Structure 1
Amino acid sequence: MDKDLFTQEMDSNITKFLIAMSKKATKYCIAKYQNLEMKLNKGLPEYIKANYQRCAYVHTLLKRDRLTELDKVYEPLQFEVDDDVLEENVIKSSIATDLHRTIISGYAGNGKTIFLKKIYKELIDNQTNFYPIFVELRSISSGTQTLFDYIYQSILTYSDSFTQEQFTYGLKKGLFYFLIDGLDEISESQQSNIQEEIIRLTLKYPDCPFVVTSRPNEFTTWENFYIAHLLPFDYHQCQSFIKKIDFAEERKTDFLEFLTEDKFDEHEEFLSNPLLASMMLLTFNEYGDIPAKRHIFYEKCFQVLIKEHDASKGRFHRPLKSKLSHENLEKIFMYFCAITYQKKKYRFSLQEIDKFIDLASKTLSSDKICKGNDIRYDFVHSVSLLLQDGNFFEFIHRSFQEYFFAKFIVNDRKLELENKLDNIDGLFSLVKANLIAMIDDMDHDYFETEYILKKLTILNEYFESIDAENKPEKIFEQFGIVLGMYPRDFNNYNFTLGILSNYSLLIPDNDKERELDNKWGLNNFILSEVYNKYRNLILNYPINLSSNDILKVTSKYNSCIEKLINNKDDKFGGMIIRLDRKTLIELNCTKYAQYIKKSLNDYYHDILSRTTKQRSIIDEIIFKNRNL
């Protein structure tokens, strides 16, 4: 729609809305303020119009330099309330009737603010009996300012003729519909006071709907509030959103044909909201496919975002605000991710983000250093890798931080790989499996020769002094390996004994346990590499026990076995036990210990042999034949 036509329609809608609302307040206005000709509408039209304009248009990743009509790209959301999945219209209808107090819970980028803007616009367009009041808590002054005063002052910004008596009247009569955005964005010192005031206002003015948005949190003390968890896009929502956005129809069609349900499931985390789905479309548009390897996908995403930044200037290069080259901006972002990943920081205040950018900028030579706030602007607006929620910032998707940290590990050769990786807490835990996989994928030879080979050397040197046949527990304890008993037939006391790694069950709470957890994690990763390479090392080593074996185990662990049998419906369905050396030998577990020792030694020599051969070939081809 042409913007002039849109403005005319907006003015018409607002006029109709205000006429309808004034009728609701007429009796009070005549009775109380007839001489002063005061009406509730006095002062509010300017506020309503200014906020309507702000809510009706949004910025999108695909059209960064101009606003887009919200209605053209808006995709209705889904929510979960008390384990029930509800459509957006059901939520909105309920808020206006009986669910007057609702918390919209969701992560950054999932659409909480856009949802409030949609409600605001619809309240005007549909001429409902509420004055919508849009409140952004990120802008509230720190200190002693109350929420009541803040809301009232925000209306006064547009009309200083609006009085507190008008405001109080509207509250008592249930004429206001409060859309309170960003509870999680206010300072910790203000959190409890603002929360308490919201609850007090809802109790004092029960006829006014209150909708509050926040990141997921504990809201158990919020009396009479419903919590609606904003759900990520499903396959059909994603398809519908792609069809709506302003993009070349042919390329959208190609992407939608590519985006089967199986492909959606494969890449679901990058299609879960409008921002990420747009990024996926841009990447597909540029390369015609979505790379299977994660690190390649992230690299292509960055290149596409840089290209989109330049696109608004046609074929001419558009300078970044920081005046940095693309390469140097990427380098600073890489170091920014490395610093923040190590500090376990994923969300930043304005002060924090500028501090980390300043530290990352020092990696460039002094003649290339520029203002940190310009770099921050480029991170948020030029390449859209960070999201800004008021005075807080976070990654568009946390895995981008993980990717750029992995890139730092591989690209920066000033530090030894062993030192870099050993300084990452819980490196081989399940949580950081993607990080290790990306480092390995980015440069397998570097990872294998400069890290795995060195760790294998230490492990094999230790195993040389161990008699695996007579001291199998000395092998197992390097991997946190224990035995698990699993029932095959409870009634006949028939069990299977399996060897498994127990290190992942440890939740370290001190330095000693963390050191042990890291060691077990590393050694089990190496063991899994052996399995992946040779495909003949059975990590769950089954031992079918004879009747005599059962008696041996049950006599020592009788209380454990009884517990296992009595809890036969337990989800785990098994029990982890630790056997002594004598029992391990009697149960013939020594073969597995010996096999681990031999396989790791074979793996060590295999890496050493391949590395030596590869270096010999490179030397022969490049250096010895340089005169050909």
Structure 2
Amino acid sequence: MVEPSALALLKVINKPLNDLYDFIKKETKFHLEKQKLNDISGKLDNKIESIKKVKTIYKGDEAIDLNLFYYPPYIDSDQGYIKAEKIENISSKNFVIEGVAGQGKSILLRYLTFKEYKELKRIPIFIELRKLNDKGEILSFIKEAISSWIFSVSDELINWVLKSGKIVLLLDGFDELKAKDVANVIKDLESISQQYPQTQIVVTSRPDNAIQSSNFFKVLTIRPYEDDERIGLIRKLVNDDDSFGNLVKALKESPLKVDELLTTPLMVTLFVMTYRAKLIIPDSLSKFYEELFSVLIYKHDRTKPGYQREFKSSLNESELQEWFEILCFISKNENKLVFNSRQDLLDCIKKSISKKFQKEDPSALLEDISKNLCLIIRDGNNYSFIHRSIQEFFVASFFKQRPQDLAEQTYKLLDTKSTKYKAEIRFLSEIDSYRYRKYLLKPSLENFFRIFPNILNFKSSIHIDLYESWEHPDEDDSDDEFEDGLKKYVQARINIVDTSQSLLSKRRNYLSNLLYDYFTSKKASTAIFRNLKNYEVNRFVHSIPILFEDIPASKVTKFFRKENSGLIDEAYQNFQKNLEECLLEIDHQEDQSFLDLI
């Protein structure tokens, strides 16, 4: 028998609780005193109010209403990608919201909780799975969550509540569960799904967790931010119309690859913070990251007169950045963009503490970089860089800081490992341009002209590989479908082979990457594939009733040389121009250095 006090859950002022009360009253024949209803109504309102108050990097330690800054992303749904504003519009089934670090999974779930509450149809019960009790029993955890805003809950009452269809469970951070609890929680959630199909369950998780394999849950992904979401979030963060207009205009005109960089709410927020601190839009990714570190320090040190620094370590700004560069280099060398646990990150931090920083506490450094600067963020049990390019830029900065007497040796190492450090080399071409040109670009281009002293020699060395099968196309395939399929089949890799060395077969040096980048650039590859498509299509493709894989690579190579001769000439001439410009820039830099000495 259910205790009357427990039924405080069942009738309060708003409609969903009245509906739930009517359902359970009919089944259990219990009633509730008016005074207790009023008490519980206030508790429920307070609970929802606390759920929508969050701390952000933008406002620091101040907890603010998420409606003041949150701009919902698009999410996969039963009808395709839609703006994630209501659970009922996303799906009527149980589903997992899947997203990577920085996409705001937890805030999205809080937002959906608040929106559900305002819909006055169901009672949302928001639960952080990282706080799961030691027994790992989700049902008892649900009871605890409900008990936080009513007096007590019995097993019988829970049974009727879950049968009512008047609540929705919102479970945040499946990936934050302890490993030992995962199997039991999945088992319990599947049991709830079977026994109480009227109760919808929504879960958030990073990709590749066990919950995504359950047949009782659909997996719906958060779409990376696009222009409308970026601008929508900026509008929330920047109240001043002039500042908003200037920022959006500058963003649209910026040479930054915003489509690749500003794909999460976190990265857009950091971008706005940088702009508001410097009042300029960086014209390159390098300049953005060069400003970012000091902006994040600035936010903590100089936002208020007399504000005392709250960093845990004793390092100043330049020292903290110097240490972080070492951490980035070590983690990159170990192929770690994501750390599987706090201890995993601490182990990497310990390796990064050089003699200069040997007095620093690894835990303090972890707190500074994850909670104060947010360059590495906690997402469940894992820690990860907020964006791959953060790690890449500060690795490049680490290389830039190597002493001049080690510069040539450093760039020779990068030459032999240019595929692994491709992004870092791109950053170095901007932030360490003189040494990059002198010790990497110049030797690579000079090597090219030693191997290929003329265009004819270059042309005769080019081959195209065919790889992975592609099913025979239909006659009525659209141009785009045909081109996409062909791109999957014809590998846009040019093998430059010389008797003394193979540059591209293993893609093991910087020159190989220069060649690869040129021939697989959008402009070049589009021309190649367009011409391939138009080249006697009936004979080359449609007359072949079997898989494309039977076409000899030599046939494609011959066609490439014949039909794209101008493209090959252009590549050769482009390299000649690059070498001339490189030599002039090196001379200019060395002359400037001489003037500086005077």
Find the counterpart in structure 1 of residue 88 from structure 2: 93
Measured against aligned partners, the alpha-carbon deviations of 1:172-223 in whole angstroms (never above 9, x if no partner) come to: 3334311012223335565455334323321221010111112344887543
Distance 1:514 1:531 in 2: 16
Partner residue in 2 for 1:292: 283
1:67 shift after superposition:
0.8
* Corresponding letter in the other structure for 1:289: I
Mind listing any 5+ residue stretches in structure 1 that lack a counterpart?
1-12, 485-489, 491-500, 507-511, 555-559
Q: How does 1:381-420 map to 2 (within 5 A)?
A: 381-413=371-403, 414=406, 416-420=409-413
Please tell me whether residue 112 in structure 1 is matched to residue 97 in structure 2. Answer: no
Residue 530 to residue 271, structure 1, CA distance change in 2 (3 Å): closer
TM-score by length of 2: 0.74
Deviations 1:397-451 (A, max 9, x none): 22211211221122223572235414647248xxx4x433211111222112112
Q: Post-superposition shift, 1:580?
A: 13
What is the deviation of 1:604? 6.5
Which residue does 2:329 correspond to in 1? Answer: 338
**What does residue 238 of structure 1 align with?**
230
Q: What whole-Å deviation, never above 9, does each CA across 1:217-247 have from its counterpart, x for those lacking one?
A: 4887543544333233443343333333375
2:461 is matched with 476
CA distance in 2, matches of 1:576, 1:41: 79
How many angstroms does 1:593 deviate by?
9.6
- 1:51-450 matches, within 5 Å, as 51-81=47-77, 84-89=80-85, 91-94=86-89, 99-130=92-123, 132-140=124-132, 145-153=136-144, 161-186=152-177, 190-217=181-208, 221-223=213-215, 225-245=217-237, 250-260=242-252, 267-314=258-305, 316=307, 318-348=309-339, 349-362=341-354, 364-366=356-358, 369-413=359-403, 414=406, 416-422=409-415, 424=417, 426-427=419-420, 432=422, 434-450=423-439
Instruction: Name the aligned partner's letter for residue 105 of structure 1.
Output: E
1:252 Cα deviation from its structure 2 partner? 3.3
Q: In 1, are the aligned partners of 2:47 and 2:149 still within 8 Å (CA)?
A: no
Residue 564 (structure 1) aligns with:
541
Residue 64 of structure 1 and its aligned partner are, at CA, apart by 0.7
Partner of residue 493, structure 1: none
Letter in 2 for 1:56: K
Contact 1:179 1:210 in 2 (8 A): yes
The residue type equivalent to 1:407 in the other structure is: S
CA offsets per residue over residues 327-362 of structure 1, 9 Å max, x none?
111112212222222322222221111112222222
Number of paired residues? Answer: 549
Q: Which residue of structure 2 aligns with residue 4 of structure 1?
A: none
TM-score, L = length of structure 1: 0.71
Distance (Å, rounded) in 1 between the aligned partners of 2:364 and 2:299: 19
List per-residue Cα deviations over 1:277-297 (Å, max 9, x = no partner): 222222222333312211001
Tell me, yes or no, if the aligned pair for 1:530 and 1:600 is still in contact at 8 Å: no
1:8 aligns to what? none
- Alpha-carbon distance between aligned partners in 2 of 1:227 and 1:100, rounded to the nearest angstrom: 11
Alpha-carbon distance in 2 for matches of 1:517, 1:355: 33
Q: Which residue identity is paired with 2:273? A: L
Residue matched to 2:29: 30
CA contact (8 A) 2:97 2:204 kept: yes
- More displaced 10-residue stretch of structure 1: 599-608 or 334-343: 599-608
- Alignment partner, residue 479 of structure 2: none
Which deviations, in whole Å up to 9, do the C-alpha atoms of 1:367-417 show, x marking residues without a partner?
Answer: xx3222221221122222222224322222222112112211222235722
**CA spacing shift, 1:595–1:242, aligned 2, 3 Å:** closer
Give ranges in structure 2 of 5+ residues lacking alignment.
1-10, 468-474, 476-489, 496-500
The one-letter code sitting in structure 1 at the alignment partner of 2:101 is A
Counterpart of 1:509 in structure 2 is: none
Kindly indicate whether the alpha-carbon contact (under 8 Å) linking 2:412 and 2:440 is maintained by their aligned counterparts in 1: no
Maintained 8 Å contact 2:97/2:203: yes
Amino acid at match of 1:578: S
Identity level (%) = 21
| CA pair 298-596 structure 1, distance change in 2 beyond 3 A | closer
SS at match of 1:212: strand
State how 1:458-473 maps to structure 2 within 5 Å. Answer: none
Structure 1 residue identity aligned to 2:386: I
Bigger radius of gyration among the two: 1
Asked whether the 8 Å contact 1:342–1:424 carries over to 2, the reply is no
Rounded to whole Å, the distance in 1 between the matches of 2:297 and 2:563 is 61
Distance 1:204 1:14 in 2: 27
CA RMSD of aligned residues (A): 5.1
User: In the alignment, residue 88 of structure 1 is paired with which amino acid?
Assistant: A
1:22–1:41: 8 Å Cα contact kept in structure 2?
Answer: no
Q: 1:327 to 1:99 in 2, by over 3 A?
A: same
Contact 2:465–2:494 (Cα < 8 Å) also in 1 = no
2:57 is aligned with what amino acid? L
CA distance in structure 1 between the aligned counterparts of 2:185 and 2:528, rounded to whole angstroms: 57
Letter in 2 for 1:374: A
Q: Which residue of 2 aligns with 1:517?
A: 506
**Which amino acid is 1:357 matched to?**
I
One-letter amino acid of the counterpart of residue 247, structure 2: F
Instruction: Name the CA distance, whole Å, in 2 between partners of 1:435 and 1:403.
Output: 6
Whole-Å Cα distance in 2 between the matches of residues 590 and 85 of structure 1?
Answer: 44
Change (3 A) 1:399 1:569: farther
Residue 356 of structure 2 aligns to a residue whose secondary structure is coil
Shift of 1:310: 1.8
